Structure 1
């Protein structure tokens, strides 16, 4: 804790330091050299006459109520009266400091959300194919993620993942996954790398994932799933939707992960769709009813944003022209 020293308030500052033994004095000209997230104490007049970034608890005499009001308008964290300090000033300070840090975290969320959006893959031009994507967090940050990259002159690797839980902790793992961009050349290699890292780091989070490798010369796809629900959906002209099911544990639970790769052929006009489970939450009913409604919506409306988003949603759609 720091207090900005002022000569004509030496007695008041001494009283404040007796109430807060860990309080240290600094001069006003030293303030630019300290961490601007540290809470400081200042008399109200100095606070109003100067500019600094640090959160500040201002102190005033009883007759300076109007100055306290101005200080609050200017952004003071709190206002105390010199000779009427809180009964437990140390506890009050801790609460104010905690409140400030929480508010700062909240203010940082929009910037963090913009950064997460910028980390999503850039559109790729693929001969004879189109990749569509939909990404919408329930709040600021998402625990869903997808990525894709060109492996060679005729193959694209793509995946969609869903981190268990919500909020900042889950979104941190999406940033971690973004670091694997371009570092795998097959679904099995990507799954193995991600799983081994998660287990080794004891991340205490599991991730479901569905991944595919498209050969856009032969129109064949090799794909696999690590405990992901809902399963991939294959839409083909003139045919009933195909639900591509397989079984496996999610990533991060065991180093002995058993994954089976599957194969499919993309006919002209076919669409392969990966979704996170949040895509189901916009629909009513049980899982089967929700899944059926999701398929119908994808068939008729495509990747139309839902009106209400109770959960993170990510959808990746690969279409053959």
Structure 2
């Protein structure tokens, strides 16, 4: 027997000549034998004695040996159990194994090698059973820990989603002669798309759409940064005579520098715009944002020209302001690139034409566009999707 073989064995067997022969054989194998001949005393010895392996006679009347196997198999020590019997019956073997026996020994054994082989095999199977049990317990603990972590993460994300929604402006909202409304569909709990619009002083409205690279908490963090940045520059306009907030190009330049300084490996495509509420002039700048903003005038929609680099990629990126008029009844619509994922067209050009065809209908509500694109019916959005609609009365 190998060095991992048991040192002591509990033998529960009816007292007869075969019993005493088996005790002698076990002792010849170097085992310390605790022999119990009454089933009623077996469990006490099983619990109290220091034993490594158990043999149980299943020939006890009224299935007491079988019942004993079942009780011992439930013990947390998971000791190897060997059923022994004088009856050479396959049904007995199956019954013993079904009640927890690790192996089975027919009596009388042919020689010591047979006993040694059965014991070694029972020990190996018992060890494997304990390893499997330990692995299962470890896996169950890991799954429980994972579930707890996922639950905590979900709670954190739900809280983050609530905070992010609080940062969004009211929809719809009216500023002077202009109405603003938005729709955002996150692909996860937290969105990397963000929209904001607000009045600056008495004569200007500023708005932007941002699409942060990636998804989840890190991308959502950048949207909070952008919200804070524009709030700071709005405050600077009111209290420090700074006009940066009225120049989309300057705002993109500031965002680019500050995002690079943060060193978080995120970049953003953006469209920033300011409307002069008195002369109805639209000043805008596009930082790598697709699709481009689309202006619909008298039922004919066209993309606004001119694009610069995304924010947060290059320190030497330059941004420029572009100016156009915002006629009465005109509708300016901005999307994040997630909208392109829900269009069936093959090429980007075809998708852009499809967008313009839809915008030619003159839809003035973001929720209406969301219905047109089937966004309310999406179970799993392929990407964050944002829609901003700005209309002049």
Whether contact under 8 Å (2:271, 2:284) holds in the other structure is yes
SS at match of 1:183: helix
Q: Which gives a bigger RCO, structure 1 or 2 (Cα 8 Å, sep 6+)?
A: 1
Contact map agreement 2:301 2:359 (CA 8 A) in 1:
no
SS of 1:182's equivalent?
helix
Which residue in 2 is equivalent to 1:30? none
Q: Which 4+ stretches in 1 moved above 6 angstroms?
A: 88-92
**Aligned: 1:319 with 2:391:** yes
The residue number in structure 2 matching 1:243 is: 303
Aligned length: 243
**C-alpha deviations, 1:150-179, integer Å up to 9, x for none?**
111010111101001222321221122222
Q: CA–CA distance in 2 between the matches of 1:99 and 1:138?
A: 22
User: 1:164 touches 1:207 (CA, 8 Å); kept in 2?
Assistant: yes
- The answer to whether the aligner puts 1:103 opposite 2:151 as a matched pair is yes
State the alpha-carbon separation in 2 of the partners of residues 191 and 135 from structure 1.
22
Specify the SS of the correspondent of 1:311.
coil
Q: 1:228 aligns with which of 289, 292, 296?
A: 289
Rounded Cα–Cα distance in structure 2 between residues aligned with 1:88 and 1:242: 62
Q: How far apart, CA to CA, are the structure 1 residues paired with 2:329 and 2:322?
A: 21
Q: Point out the more displaced range, 113-122 or 191-200.
A: 113-122
Encode CA deviations 1:162-210: one digit per residue, 9 max, x unaligned.
Answer: 0012223212211222222422322123212211111111120110000
- 3-state SS of the aligned residue for 2:214? coil
Secondary structure in structure 2 of the residue aligned to 1:104: helix
Equivalent residue for 1:191, pick from 239, 244, 252: 252
State the match for 1:122 in structure 2. 170
Q: Whole-Å Cα distance in 2 between the matches of residues 202 and 244 of structure 1?
A: 32
Map 1:11-160 onto structure 2 (within 5 A).
86=134, 93=141, 96-123=144-171, 124-160=173-209
Q: 1:175 — aligned with what? A: 224
Offset of residue 220 of structure 1: 0.1
Structure 2: segments with no counterpart, 5+ residues: 1-73, 77-131, 234-244
Normalised TM-score (structure 2)? 0.56
* Residue 93 of structure 1, CA deviation: 4.8
Larger radius of gyration: 2
Contact 1:163 1:170 in 2 (8 A): yes
Task: Return the TM-score normalized by structure 1.
Answer: 0.68
Q: 1:97 to 1:229 in 2, by over 3 A?
A: same
Shift of 1:131: 0.8
Unaligned runs of 5+ in 1: 1-61, 65-83
Aligned to 1:208: 269
For 1:125 and 1:107, the matched residues in 2 are separated by 34
Contact 1:160 1:274 in 2 (8 A): yes
**Contact 2:193 2:209 (8 Å CA) reproduced:** yes
Q: Following the alignment from structure 1 to structure 2, what is the Cα–Cα distance between the partners of residues 231 and 110?
A: 31
**Cα drift, residue 110 of structure 1:** 3.0
State the match for 1:266 in structure 2.
Answer: 326
Deviation (angstroms), 1:109? 2.7
